[in-house]
Amino acid sequence: MKKPVKIWLSIGVTAVLAGSVYYGVKKSQADIVTVQTGKVIRQDLTATVTASGEIRPRNYVNIGANVMGRLTDILVKEGDRVAKGQLLAKLESVQAGADVNAQLASLSAAQAEVTGAEAALKAADESLRTLKASVDRARAELQRANLDFERGQQLYAERLIAKQEFDSRKAQAEAAAATLREAEARLAQAEAQRAQTAASLASAQKRVAQIQASLVRVKDVLNKHLATSPIDGIVTNLPVRVGETVVPGIQNSPASLIMTIADMSLITAEVKVDEADIVSIQNGQTADITIDALPNRTFKGHVIEIGNTAILRSTGLAASQSAISSQEAKDFKVVIALDNPPPEIRPGLSCTAKITTATRNNVLSIPIQALTVRQKGDLLPKPKKGVQAAATADPAKQKELSEEVQGVFVIQDGKAVFRKVDTGITGATYIELLGGLKEGDEIITGSYRVIRTLRNETRVKIDNRAETSKAL
């Protein structure tokens, strides 16, 4: 064989051997999946719920119109601080004021009548006392005259006195009796007059009470023309001006609202929390509040109220009051009191609250993206054909195999082995690990597509360079 032929033959054999080796290597690596990994670590975790809303005073009052009328005076302006009971505005009240004045005049006349009746009754009482004394005196005189007459009868019968003296004593007794009857008649007349005076006094007193009741009514009507503050606070809304007419009892009408008084001593952030997170909210939990109008500042607060009624996200109405499908997303109102609100804060400012629902110190944790779900049947070794057919035919076994299991993939002997885990609270990027792994275990954390499709006991290759470049 010629030398050139031998050289080309050697080159061909070498190429075939190299191709065979390359093909074998590629075939052996065909089932290997490239993954990124992380470690089970210990750290402090904080679970939070984020919700948005607006700043509101805890207590505020809308001062509305109690009667229809024209505004004649507005004694405050928006932003003024007012005290409880302070006069805020006046409505035209000519007729109401005239009614009050008329009742006051009637009350004055009735009270004068009562005073006169009381004076007359007092005089009648004095007269009665005098007449009673006269009756007593006349009765005593009659008793004395009767005794004198009786003695005269005895003496006259014994012929010891003259008939003239006897007649005189008899006349004195009869005169005393007449005087007593006259005094008793005057007393009876005076008692009747006193009873009449007492009746007149009672009638006058009833008229006074009636007029006083009417005066209370017309004063109440007059006071409805005066708007006063029921609380200490600040005027936060003043939509009307002097000369405009306001009307009572019309909800959501600009003409029914005079102003709004807000008690700014307790400022709250009223936020709407998603229905999926509301179960973890409790009174007293702390929160960090950011206000859009005050950037780069965070304010502390705590939860003071949790709503029990679901609110439809699209309309803002209570779910029980709406005919919209119950499948719509819902929120719940949560009120957070700001611990130290800034002086420049205003009601209605948009805000975001981050409520701390749970805290764990030095607990095992894993990245949230490492957590996945698999069916029990996908975790078992591939069964033989007969066994697989039997499992498929058994509904109970099929149901058991379709149950989902929560877990992560652990690196073990170059393979991804699924491990069931129990979890606790969820932080920003890590989740608490309650069982199933130990500190330092290497778990698969990426990519998301790989974790979603990775099968149990698949051979893997670790490449954390992509994660490192992302971190840089």
Q: Which of 102, 185, 100 shows the shortest CA–CA distance to 138?
A: 185
113 occurs within a structural domain: yes
| Pair 136, 159 in one domain | yes
| Pair 330, 374 in one domain | no
249 occurs within a structural domain: no
User: Rounded distance, CA 59 to CA 337, Å?
Assistant: 12
| Pair 211, 314 in one domain | no
84 occurs within a structural domain: no
18 occurs within a structural domain: no
E strand or H helix at 84, and its extent?
none
User: Rounded distance, CA 436 to CA 405, Å?
Assistant: 12
Domain encompassing residue 271: 49-56+266-359
Given this model, what pLDDT does residue 390 score?
Answer: 52
Given this model, what pLDDT does residue 323 score?
Answer: 59
| Pair 337, 429 in one domain | no
100 occurs within a structural domain: yes
CATH number, domain containing residue 202: 1.10.287.620
| Pair 371, 355 in one domain | no
| Pair 438, 322 in one domain | no
259 occurs within a structural domain: no
Starting at the earlier edge strand, list the strands of the sheet with 245-246: 226-228, 87-91, 69-74, 245-246
CATH number, domain containing residue 398: 2.40.420.20
66 occurs within a structural domain: no
315 occurs within a structural domain: yes
pLDDT digits (tens, 9 = 90+) for 283-342: 999 999 999 999 999 999 999 999 998 888 877 777 776 655 566 788 999 999 999 998
Based on the structure, what is the number of domains in the chain?
3
Q: Which of 313, 341, 359 is the last residue of a domain?
A: 359
Given this model, what pLDDT does residue 469 score?
Answer: 46
| Pair 377, 296 in one domain | no
| Pair 120, 182 in one domain | yes
| Pair 113, 219 in one domain | yes
Residues of the chain with pLDDT under 70: 1-30, 249-255, 321-327, 381-393, 466-472
